[in-house]
Every structure is written in structure tokens, then in C-alpha cells.
Amino acid sequence: MKKYIFIILAAFLTTTIFTKTFISHAQTATDSGSLLEKVANEIASKTAQLNLVEKRGIIGTVTDSSGTQITLSDLSDNIRFVDVDELTKFSSPSSSSYGMSDITKGTLLGVLGLYNKQSQRILARDVNVQSPFPNVIYGTIADIDNKNYELTIAKDNKQKIVIEIQDITKTYSFSAGTLAKSGFSKTQTGETIVAIGFPDKQDSSKILGTRIILLPDVQTSFALNLEPSANPIIPPSTGSGMKLYPIKK
């Protein structure tokens, strides 16, 4: 009788141990599966975030700035929103302590940071003040002011722009494939011209010329308005210019 009892107890203990071992392994496998699933989800989430964000640089003119946000108008006239945080670095060639509070409307900025494709915002890491881009004017000389050393240029869109000639203005003539030095006294009305310069900060109706290229071989467009204009206008300023002295002869 004792023999049968011993056999039953041994079988019971074996079954219990096997059951506990099976349950333990099952729980371990379940826990491992959950852990692997959690890790896989985190990796997928990080991958999605990496695909959503990319490094990008933009250049634009400040239209507004407040708190931790800068609004820029880029070179294609698109509105860009820039966010700044405690990691954002600011720099300016004119100041060693330039910061968010120094940013003003009309300033040309270069921004490097993390662009979010979903929100279409850029989290700035570097914000740098840029030198203003020059205006490039193509048209025909409609009027010459010999007293004030100014040229009125007519464009295809009927717009007229005054170019002020200065001491630093370099004038050239391109004819028959040759570029030669020229001067204000050699300019003629009706002549095609390319003028490069910066807006006059003190007089918004003028451009301070830095380079003038006369193109006598290029025919004047019939769409130009060569009639005298009392109020010539210029494109919106992309930055600030410095007033220089006119040529004295």
C-alpha cells in the first residue's frame, strides 16, 4: 500500500514541477515578446521621427519676431516660421552679443536648423545676420540727370527706377564681345543698361549704384515706358544700404 502511495506522490510532484516550469517558461516567453514588441515600436517611432525631420538652411527677411518665433519671407517670397530655444545660437558681424531681442523687421537672416515636414517649421540651431543682397536692374536709360549724377531706368513692366552714381560706382560698356571701362558722361538715353546697387536707406526712391554695365548693341524693348516720370519707384528693399558721396567732376 505504501508503495502505491509513494508512486502517486512522485507522480503528483513531477506533474507540479513540470506545470510550474511550463508556466514559468510561458511567462518568460510572454514577457520577452512584450519587451521585443515594445522595443520594435520605439524603433519604428524613432525612425518615423527621423524621416519627418531633416536638416535645412534658409535665408529670408524678417517680417515679424516675438518670444521664441521668427517669421521670415524667403528668397521666393514664401513665409517661413522659425522657432528658437535655449540651444539656438545667434551671431552678427556687427555685434558679439547679438540675440533674439536684437532682431528687427527687415533684417536679412540665415537660419540653419531642423525642419519638420509635417508642421513646416524649422527649429533653429544657428541664426546669422547676413549682408543685404544687391538689386539688379535691367532696362533702358530713360533720363539722365547730369547735375545730381542720376540715371532713370525704365523697365519692361512700366516701372522706373532712379540709380544714383557714386564715387565707388564702376561703369563699363560691353560691345562687340568686349568689356571696357566707361563713365557717367558716356551714358545716353535709350541705351540698354544693367545696374547693380543697394537701396538708399535715406531716400527710398533711389538705388545707390555700385556697378553699371552699358549695352549699346542690345536693342531697346518696345514695351518700355520712356516717358518722363515725376515719381520713379523701386522694388521693396531687401536690406539696408549706406549713403555714399556722388561723383564730383
Between 113 and 33, where is the model more confident? 113
Report the pLDDT value the prediction gives residue 199, as an integer from 0 to 100.
83
The SS3 call for residue 200 is coil
pLDDT digits (tens, 9 = 90+) for 118-151: 899 999 999 999 887 888 889 999 999 999 999 9
Instruction: Evaluate if residue 246 carries a pLDDT over 60.
Output: no
- Position 240 scores a pLDDT of 43
- Confidence category of residue 239, pLDDT binned at 50, 70, 90: very low
What's the mean pLDDT in 179-190?
A: 92
Comparing CA positions, the residue from 193, 198, 192 lying closest to residue 236 is 198
- Which residues share a beta bridge with 215? 192
The per-residue pLDDT for 198 is 87
**DSSP, res 236:** P
Determine the length of the chain.
249
**pLDDT, tens digit, 9 for 90 and up, residues 40-93:** 666 656 555 556 889 999 999 999 998 899 999 988 889 999 999 999 999 998
Going along the chain from its start, the domains and CATH numbers come out as 53-129 (2.40.50.140), 134-249 (2.40.50)
Assign 33 a pLDDT band (cuts: 50, 70, 90): low
Of 149, 110, 155, nearest in space to 135 by CA: 155
More confident residue, 1 or 120: 120
